[in-house]
Amino acid sequence: MPSSSTSILGIDLGGTKTALTLFNAATMVPRTSQVFPTEASEGFAAVQDRLLKAVHTIRAPDTVAIGLGVPGFIDPKTKHVLSMPNIPGSEGMNVRHWLSSAATLPVIIENDARCFAYAEALFGAGKGHQIVLGVTLGTGVGGGIVIDGMLLHGTHGYAGEVGHALLMPGQPPYPTEDRRGDVEQFLSGTAMGKRCEAARRPQDYLEGHVCSFLQPEVIREVAWFIVNAMHFIDPSIIVFGGSTGRALKPHLLSIERELRQWLLPGVKSPTLSCGTLADAAVRGAALLAKTLI
C-alpha cells in the first residue's frame, strides 16, 4: 500500500507537447504539473534532454516511481520502442531503461492510449465496468482494453491497437499510396483534414470537430467500428478520447441509432461515452507506476 507521504510521477510524452504530473501515491491527488513543447522534429536525443530536465525539476524527494506514456509500439518483453512515428530517432531504444538509470527510479513504460484507457477504467467514465475499451482519436487512432482492472496486451503487445483494424480494405477515403483502409485512415483528426481537402472543402476542417458534411459518413463508420469491437471483445463501455474523440460527444446518440441497424437481433449495444478525466493519459501512466511500489 503506497504511503501518503510518497509521490509518483506520471508522464505523457506526445509528439507536440509533453505533460508531467506529480501525484500523491496514496490518494492520486495531483501535487504539481508541468507541460513543455516536445519539439520532436529536433530528434529523440534532444527530446530526452528536455524530458530529463523536466523530471529533475518536478520530482520531489519522496518520489518513488515514474510512469511514462508514449505514442507508439512497445515490445512487451524487451520494453524497446518498436515505433514512435511522431518522434524520429527513437526506434529500438530502451526508453524505460534509459529513464530509470537517469532518474535513479523504477520506471514503467506504456502506450499512451492504453494509459488513457486505464485511467478512464479505474477513475473515469469506465469505472465499475468489467470490460472497457478506450479509443483515442487525435493525430492518429489508438486504443486500450481493460478487463477487471487489468490492461490486456495480447501475445505480441498489439491488443487494443484499434487504429490499424481494417474498416474498408483497399478503399481509403482520400488519395494515398497506403491502401490499407484502416480505422486511422478514416477517423483520425489527420484523416478528417485530408478528407476535407479531397472533397475540395479544406475550409470546413477545424481541429477537434467533425466536419459537418462528413457527419453522416463518420457516424456510420464509427458504428461499423463498434460492431467489430463488440464481436471481438464485447465491451460493456467504449470511452472516446483525443481531440476528435471528444468531438463525437454530441453525436453519440446518432452513433447508437446507427449501431442498432447493424447489430444482430438481441445483441445489446455497449454504453458509449467520452472520457471524463482531463488528465487521463498522464494519470494512467502514474497509476501504472503504482504497480511498481
State pLDDT tens for residues 220-255.
Answer: 999 999 999 999 999 999 999 999 999 999 999 999
| Amino acid letter, residue 73 | F
Residue with cell 494509459: 115
**In the predicted structure, residue 79 carries a pLDDT above the cut 80:** no
Please name the fold of domain 7-111+279-290: Nucleotidyltransferase; domain 5 (3.30.420)
User: Would the CA dihedral through 278, 58, 288, 26 be positive or negative?
Assistant: negative
DSSP-derived pairing of the beta strands 73-74 and 63-70: unpaired
Write out pLDDT tens, residues 85-112: 878 888 888 899 999 999 999 999 999 9
In terms of Cα–Cα distance, which of 140, 239, 138 is closest to 182?
A: 140
In terms of Cα–Cα distance, which of 201, 228, 227 is closest to 215?
A: 201
Between CA 117 and CA 129 the distance in angstroms is 12
**In the predicted structure, residue 3 carries a pLDDT above the cut 70:** no
- Say if CB 289 and CB 55 are below 8 A apart: no
The three three-digit cell numbers of residue 209, written as one number: 470537430
- Segments of the chain assigned to CATH 3.30.420.40: 7-111+279-290, 125-274
The three three-digit cell numbers of residue 247, written as one number: 468531438
CATH code of the domain occupying 125-274: 3.30.420.40
